[in-house]
A and B are shown apart, each in its own frame.
Chain A
Amino acid sequence: MKLDARIPSGPIEEAWVKACFDMKLVNPANKRKHSIIVVGSGLAGAAASASLGELGYNVKCFCFQDSPRRAHSIAAQGGINAAKNYPNDGESVFRLFYDTVKGGDFRAREANVYRLAQISGKIIDQCVAQGVPFAREYGGALTNRSFGGAQVSRTFYARGQTGQQLLLGAYQALERQIHAGSVTMIPRTEMLDLIVVDGRARGIVTRSLITGEFNVHIADAVILASGGYSNVYYLSTNAKGSNVTASWRAYKRGALFANPCFTQIHPTCIPVSGDYQSKLTLMSESLRNDGRIWVPKKKGDPRPPNEIPQDERDYYLERRYPSFGNLVPRDVASRNAKAMCDEGYGVGKSGLGVYLDFSDAIARLGEKTIRERYGNLLDMYQRITDEDPYKIPMRIYPAIHYTMGGLWVDYQLQSTIPGLFVLGEANFSDHGANRLGASALMQGLSDGYFIIPYTVGNYLASNKFPKVDESNPAVQEAFTSVKTKIDKLLSIKGHRTVDSFHRELGKITWDYCGMARTAEGLELAIGKIRALREEYWQNVNVPGSGDDLNASLEKAGRVADFFELAELMCIDALNRNESCGGHFREEYQTPDGEAQRDDEHYSYVAAWEYAGPNAAPELTKEPLEFHYVHPSQRSYK
């Protein structure tokens, strides 16, 4: 397949303006005649649904939760970046663009990232107007903080609940359109297949999670904003319901999946405490602004942290990266924590943890200031661990958090299936091999509020949409295949629960395709995943029936897709014989243990095409060109 990213020619600063002008417009009177399906109601999905509804399109928005307000964007803590330069500290659109391309280890598309930086300021304006209670100075102006490896203060925040507040803003805008009648909200419903008619995305097949009823929804365009796939690892910071099913079914209908092995490990999570553990809890990395990370200099030091004197502590990030210190990007911070623990310096019962210590900051700024900045996070830590972080250093360990990979999209956010658009974390586009902190919220909202309203209009105005009814063979085929799969899962009645398979799959994926990868390990993992998948389809036990609320059945379908995705992730990681960003292949590192890119051979987006149930997926490469930010070895020394 030939990939055309549709990047406008000419200077990057004018690309988006030019693209917008070149796009066709839908006559205002005709907008209500076009129907659009949006799957997902997080930042990208809610923002897109609301904005398209405002324009007058006929929108249907789906989510699997009981309310659109529950989408997992809500859990983002730290903040949202924008090139506003309110602090007068040297920020600019170009700098945000530069930092994002460099932070992504030169595996993102320049034009997309530039557009993201250009739009970032408008997002803040929009959210303020919606009533998002951002943090303020006494004089009433918006306040900023430095975040996640940035040397300028470009992050806007609402305490430690920025994602919640931004999502509520988008949710309220969505509810306003629901009230106006332009958006129909369909909660507690899961998309189980994409309907492709004559090569175009024309609808979806859904299952109601309450009644088990299957339905067909036809539209002129389908927008997926269904989030990332971190839950392939079972233990992640994602919500329990987050899944890859919508994206995966689209992949199996012909949409290419790009860079699946680019996953992000977040350095500051609460360590695992037992086998029953169901998820990992993130502590915002804003904590690294004031907290200092250390381990004891002596391996396996049994003393409690407060009894270890200063000169017997190793502040390893400050030691190794004097200019960035504790604020190095996520992948670097995570890998160093793992290395320390692997060498035996880890702390806590399991030895899988490092200290994050606020005592210096409390001495310098006072407990009150620290409480004001991080109060809710530190309270949450105390609730979970029963330890007081104002007195005892916190224990943290990296956990899987975000997936940069996703469905391949062009500059207009359209996948390789015409009429199928992909927004937010579900697409692959803007973060390369590593996402910078406070950039996910920015991308979700940029895609939803400011990009898709233009590009989907262009698609609708450029094409004709013959009526598709339910008797269409493509519709019937999708409908039947969905039903067959559900019936099959219910009929196995084996001896193992869905969760037990998911845990085992997660462990394999984490061990071999997690923070560090090797060719040998990945090959081993592919074999293990295939064997386990085979067992799954023979031996899984899904209790109950398909005609009422059945959480096990929901999970069973999602885990079935995770099996296939996990294999593709390993194939992709095996193909990429280099280390970049979150993808760390142990064979490819610099003498001092940093990621070693191979720009000559791997400066491309790896887009995978489904080739059938037992066939190897086909790789198409989209070469990456860097005209503005010259690829260099990232250095945070």
Chain B
Amino acid sequence: MKLTLKVWRQKNNREKGSFVSYAMDDVDPEMSMLECLDVLNETLILRGEIPVAFEHDCREGICGSCGFVINGVAHGPERATTVCQLTMRHFKDGAELTLEPWRAKAFPLIKDLTVDRRALDHIIEAGGYISVSTGQAPDGNAILVGKEIADQSMDAAACIGCGACVAACPNASAALFTGAKITHLGILPQGEPERKRRALSMVAQMNAEVFGNCTSIGECTGVCPKEIPLEVIATMNRDYLCASFERRDELPTPVSPVVQRA
């Protein structure tokens, strides 16, 4: 099949970017979107041009490295699918695909389709863990976790940290990402002791990183390759609210954010 790829090209954060169109004459419908970019890059190199920079690693939808916006939709048109597993058969012969990087203030652009997502690591660093050091654990079965809770926790824990939720949100909010971790850990008995402190710290960091606020639009869960449910945001809000009442005096100090507020 034939396709036109209209790709955002930008050398770095200091220079201006623009779209450049590339005609692809021989696209196999079985190829993944990233393999299609591989083929494009091979031709660009042989033509003496600079290949398109895009992030990728495992190419099986689990590492969370890849992701860009295709025709306005983060990770493209297929439900619950990252771009590395999106096969070209989902597009019509002759179609034009517009590829753009995640656009969010908290994700500074590095090059072409690659952005800096360290802000997400900062949110985890602020409290997205259970404070247990190696060696302190009791026997695995000493902590019983009902199947329903374990399943719900796993649903939230499936987040791959790709950042599609932020890219899809009109406010560029990281509420789905943050809520997923707060839910994964908070509803487990192991995570209960730090539940409030965790919610406070992580939300404070999320705000410091210049992510926008959640206004319950739901685009995030719509594009999420792991279909993280919107309820995790409700859980986050509830934990944050309860914690704010109880721990008003000990609000956490966030670590230095990736992008400083102007």
Chain A residues within CB distance 8 Å of chain B? 47, 50-51, 54, 65-72, 74-75, 84, 86, 121-122, 124-131, 133-142, 156, 158-159, 161, 164-165, 168, 171-173, 175-176, 178-179, 185, 187, 210, 237, 239-241, 273-274, 276-279, 281-282, 379-380, 383-384, 386, 449-450, 453, 495, 497, 499-500, 541, 543-544, 548-549, 551-552
Contacts of B154 in A (CB 8 A): 133, 158-159, 165
Q: Decide if A66 touches B125 in the complex (CB within 8 Å).
A: no
B133 within 8 A of A: yes
Of B65, B133, B184, B255, the residue contacting A133 (CB under 8 A) is B184
Contacts of B38 in A (CB 8 A): 276, 278, 499
B242 within 8 A of A: no
**Additional A-B contacts beyond A129-B136, A178-B125 (9; CB < 8 A):** A69-B121, A140-B144, A239-B57, A274-B30, A276-B35, A380-B61, A384-B85, A543-B49, A548-B11
* Listed stretches B68-76, B96-104, B108-116, B233-241; interface member: B108-116
Contact with A along B78-92 (1 / 0, CB 8 A): 101100010101000
Q: Decide if A383 touches B49 in the complex (CB within 8 Å).
A: no
In Å, the complex CA distance between A136 and B152 comes to 12
* Listed stretches B1-9, B40-48, B165-173, B212-220; interface member: B40-48
B217 to chain A, nearest CB (A): 26
Task: Give the most central of B61, B85, B133, B161: most A CB within 10 Å.
Answer: B133
B167 to chain A, nearest CB (A): 15
Task: Give the most central of A66, A141, A499: most B CB within 10 Å.
Answer: A66
Q: Decide if A131 touches B134 in the complex (CB within 8 Å).
A: no
B207 within 8 A of A: no
Can you spell out 18 A-B residue pairs with CB atoms less than 8 angstroms apart?
Answer: A70-B63, A131-B185, A131-B188, A133-B184, A138-B147, A142-B141, A161-B62, A165-B154, A176-B131, A179-B255, A240-B56, A240-B58, A274-B31, A383-B87, A384-B85, A499-B42, A548-B12, A549-B110
Q: Decide if B63 touches A130 in the complex (CB within 8 Å).
A: no
Nearest B residue to A86 via CB reads B141
In Å, the complex CA distance between A65 and B66 comes to 11
Of B55, B129, B145, the residue contacting A66 (CB under 8 A) is B55
Of B35, B48, B153, B190, the residue contacting A278 (CB under 8 A) is B35
In Å, the complex CA distance between A210 and B125 comes to 22
B112 to chain A, nearest CB (A): 9
In Å, the complex CA distance between A84 and B59 comes to 34
In Å, the complex CA distance between A159 and B128 comes to 21
B262 within 8 A of A: no
Given contacts A131-B188, A383-B87, contact A125 B51 (CB under 8 A): no
A85 to chain B, nearest CB (A): 11
Contacts of A383 in B (CB 8 A): 78, 81, 85, 87
In Å, the complex CA distance between A466 and B235 comes to 53
Nearest B residue to A141 via CB reads B141
Given contacts A543-B49, A548-B111, A549-B111, contact A449 B134 (CB under 8 A): yes
In Å, the complex CA distance between A44 and B92 comes to 44
Contact with A along B22-33 (1 / 0, CB 8 A): 000000101110
B124 within 8 A of A: yes
B197 within 8 A of A: no
B158 within 8 A of A: yes
Task: Give the most central of B58, B61, B126, B134: most A CB within 10 Å.
Answer: B134
Given contacts A125-B137, A140-B145, A386-B89, contact A66 B51 (CB under 8 A): no
Nearest B residue to A495 via CB reads B46
Q: Decide if A67 touches B39 in the complex (CB within 8 Å).
A: no
Contacts of B124 in A (CB 8 A): 69, 171-172, 175
Contacts of B106 in A (CB 8 A): none
Contact with A along B138-166 (1 / 0, CB 8 A): 11110111110011011001101100000
In Å, the complex CA distance between A552 and B44 comes to 12
Nearest B residue to A53 via CB reads B133
Q: Decide if B157 touches A282 in the complex (CB within 8 Å).
A: no
B179 within 8 A of A: no
Nearest B residue to A160 via CB reads B62
B15 to chain A, nearest CB (A): 11
B95 within 8 A of A: no
Contacts of A449 in B (CB 8 A): 134
Contacts of A129 in B (CB 8 A): 130, 132, 136-138, 143, 190
In Å, the complex CA distance between A267 and B71 comes to 38
Q: Decide if A240 touches B57 in the complex (CB within 8 Å).
A: yes
Of B57, B61, B78, B138, the residue contacting A70 (CB under 8 A) is B57
The range of chain B's interface size is: 35 or more
Contacts of A543 in B (CB 8 A): 44-45, 48-51
Q: Decide if B121 touches A67 in the complex (CB within 8 Å).
A: yes
Q: Decide if A74 touches B63 in the complex (CB within 8 Å).
A: yes
Of B42, B64, B146, the residue contacting A136 (CB under 8 A) is B146
Contacts of B110 in A (CB 8 A): 210, 549
In Å, the complex CA distance between A95 and B111 comes to 52
Contacts of B44 in A (CB 8 A): 543
B120 within 8 A of A: yes
In Å, the complex CA distance between A368 and B257 comes to 45
In Å, the complex CA distance between A507 and B189 comes to 50
In Å, the complex CA distance between A384 and B84 comes to 10
Nearest A residue to B205 via CB reads A179
Contacts of A47 in B (CB 8 A): 134
Q: Decide if A165 touches B157 in the complex (CB within 8 Å).
A: yes
Contacts of B30 in A (CB 8 A): 273-274
A512 to chain B, nearest CB (A): 26
Q: Decide if B118 touches A66 in the complex (CB within 8 Å).
A: yes
Nearest B residue to A386 via CB reads B89
Contacts of B191 in A (CB 8 A): 131
Nearest B residue to A76 via CB reads B62
Q: Decide if B134 touches A54 in the complex (CB within 8 Å).
A: yes
Contacts of B60 in A (CB 8 A): 75, 237, 279, 281-282, 380
Contacts of B35 in A (CB 8 A): 276-278
In Å, the complex CA distance between A187 and B61 comes to 21
Q: Decide if B134 touches A67 in the complex (CB within 8 Å).
A: no
Q: Decide if A179 touches B59 in the complex (CB within 8 Å).
A: no
Nearest A residue to B61 via CB reads A380
Q: Decide if A278 touches B143 in the complex (CB within 8 Å).
A: no
A181 to chain B, nearest CB (A): 10
Contacts of A541 in B (CB 8 A): 45-46
Contacts of B147 in A (CB 8 A): 136-138, 140
Contacts of A185 in B (CB 8 A): 121
Q: Decide if A131 touches B85 in the complex (CB within 8 Å).
A: no
In Å, the complex CA distance between A467 and B157 comes to 44
In Å, the complex CA distance between A171 and B161 comes to 12
Given contacts A137-B147, A543-B51, contact A54 B125 (CB under 8 A): no
In Å, the complex CA distance between A345 and B37 comes to 35
Contacts of A139 in B (CB 8 A): 144, 146
Nearest B residue to A158 via CB reads B154
B55 to chain A, nearest CB (A): 7
In Å, the complex CA distance between A158 and B153 comes to 11
Q: Decide if B51 touches A552 in the complex (CB within 8 Å).
A: yes
Of B34, B39, B134, the residue contacting A453 (CB under 8 A) is B134
